[in-house]
Amino acid sequence: MDKVLVVGGAGYIGSHCCKALAQSGREVLVFDDLSTGHKDLCKWGDLVRGDVCDKAAVDQLFSEYKISAVFHFAAKSLVGESGQKPDLYWRTNLGGTMNLLNAMARHFVPHIIFSSTAAVYGEPDVELISESQNIQPINTYGRTKVACEAMIKSYAEAHSLGFVCPRYFNAAGADPELETGEDHSPETHVIPILLDAARGLRDQFSIFGDDYQTDDGSAVRDYIHVKDLASAHVAALDFLLAGGESTALNLGTSTGASVKELLQAAVRTTNREIQTVIAPRRAGDPARLVADATQAQKLLKWTPVNSSLTQIIDDAWRWHLKRF
Ligand code: UDP
């Protein structure tokens, strides 16, 4: 059987997508350099260890395997780091994507699902962000993703590729069966940090800013369960296979939660105290980022069914207890 190639399939969102793809009957091949991913989370297909920026390694992969579609998750994705290391971000995110697109063109692989981000929108001053919002990234990470989306469009025109660029809002939670989950080092994301604090692995939890123009003063984000992200990726491939037109799609729940609400939910779920301090805002953090995800729901015939805050934190907590 032809394989679906999951580049970055040993990482957080990638590994959940591998599981969903395998469950949909696909044969999965993971390509990952394990720089941030984990070998033990590659459970749903063979792993080829390699760097997407290594052109020869990517070419060899496409020569060795018959690949029917590419899912590209392998990227540098920390906003703060992107400001300090633009070279690393442009080289990895643009260079890796270009290597894949060139190999796809040479080997006539027709479809790519490319991980994009809400960071392409910057700081829009709207309740719900739709895909027609201005593209105005405010950091290097977001700029590299905008450029990758543009590059994919060019290759699509020249080589008749079909693409979907899911723009993630805040990926969260873990596989409900605990076969994979979030494991970043260092961890910068709010939910695993809260859970670390609940377990005493950190002294305290810092709320970054309580003077935002939001209901409770803390920043609001759209947290979407990683299992729902994964099912959207499978649906995106099915959409392309059915002749759907290439597009970028917001993946979110259209519901916001504040940092203080997360804290309350984490205390409830873990039944532990979480020492909390108010800290200054983190540079570049907008007050509110919530998706208008109606387009994805309509085109992909997809609904996020696992994304209540309760389920997200419960799954993340059970994973945390198992993994750390
Ligand atoms: N946040 C926080 N304390 C932390 C980590 C994050 O208050 O220790 C806040 C952060 O400022 C943002 C929200 O939690 O408003 C989500 O941050 P995260 O890094 O998880 O995702 P981002 O929205 O930056 O992609």
Position 285 scores a pLDDT of 85
For 118-158, what is each residue's pLDDT tens digit? 999 999 999 999 999 999 999 999 999 999 999 999 999 99
- Four-residue CA torsion sign, 304, 310, 313, 317: negative
Residue 191 alpha carbon to ligand 1 centre in Å: 8
What would the two tokens of residue 141 be?
A: 């990470």
For 26-73, what is each residue's pLDDT tens digit? 999 999 999 999 999 999 999 999 999 999 999 999 999 999 999 999
Q: pTM to 2 decimals?
A: 0.98
pLDDT of residue 284 exceeding 80: no
* Angle at alpha carbon of residue 185, lines to 183 and 191, rounded to 5°: 55
Residue 39: DSSP 8-state: G
Instruction: Name the residue of 191, 193, 208, 309 whose CB sits within 8 Å of the most ligand 1 atoms, as the mutation to test its pocket.
Output: 208
Residue 189 alpha carbon to ligand 1 centre in Å: 6
Residue nearest to atom 25 of ligand 1 (CA): 170
Residue 183 alpha carbon to ligand 1 centre in Å: 16
Secondary structure of residue 207 in the 3-state scheme: strand
Secondary structure of residue 239 in the 3-state scheme: helix
The type of residue at 98 is M
**% pLDDT > 70, the chain:** 100
* Burial (CB count <10 Å: 0-12, 13-18, 19+), residue 245: exposed
Ligand 1 contact, 284 CB (< 6 A): no
Ligand 1 contact, 227 CB (< 6 A): no
Ligand 1 contact, 282 CB (< 6 A): yes
Task: State the first-to-last Cα distance of the chain, in angstroms, to the nearest integer.
Answer: 37
What would the two tokens of residue 111 be?
A: 């479809």
Ligand 1 contact, 117 CB (< 6 A): no
Residue 260 alpha carbon to ligand 1 centre in Å: 11
pLDDT of residue 160 exceeding 80: yes
Give how far the C-alpha of residue 99 lies from the chain's centroid of Cα atoms, to the nearest Å: 20
The type of residue at 272 is R
Q: How many CB atoms lie within 10 A of CB 247?
A: 18
Residue 111 alpha carbon to ligand 1 centre in Å: 33
Ligand 1 contact, 105 CB (< 6 A): no
The bridge status of strand 116-117 relative to strand 162-168 is: parallel
Which are the catalytic amino acids? Answer: 141
Position 1 scores a pLDDT of 83
- Least Cα distance to 118 among 126, 107, 108, 110 occurs for 126
Q: Are 168 and 116 in contact (CB under 8 A)?
A: yes
Residue nearest to atom 14 of ligand 1 (CA): 190
Ligand 1 contact, 78 CB (< 6 A): no
Strand partners, 277: 206
DSSP 99-132: HHHHHHHHTT--EEEE-EEGGGG-S--SSSB-TT
**% pLDDT > 90, the chain:** 97
Residue nearest to atom 5 of ligand 1 (CA): 190
Position 233 scores a pLDDT of 98
Q: Are 28 and 18 in contact (CB under 8 A)?
A: yes
Mean pLDDT of the 263-283 span: 96
What would the two tokens of residue 2 be?
A: 């032809």
The type of residue at 29 is L
Q: What is the CA radius of gyration of the chain?
A: 19
CA–CA gap between residue 191 and residue 196 (Å, rounded) = 9
Position 120 scores a pLDDT of 97
Residue nearest to atom 10 of ligand 1 (CA): 208
- pLDDT class of 309 with cuts at 50, 70, 90: very high
Ligand 1 contact, 207 CB (< 6 A): yes
Strand partners, 146: none
Position 80 scores a pLDDT of 87
pLDDT of residue 12 exceeding 80: yes
For 61-108, what is each residue's pLDDT tens digit? 999 999 999 999 999 999 889 999 999 999 999 999 999 999 999 999
Instruction: Name the residue of 203, 226, 277, 282 whose CB sits within 8 Å of the most ligand 1 atoms, as the mutation to test its pocket.
Output: 282
- Least Cα distance to 317 among 143, 219, 188, 191 occurs for 191
pLDDT of residue 218 exceeding 90: yes
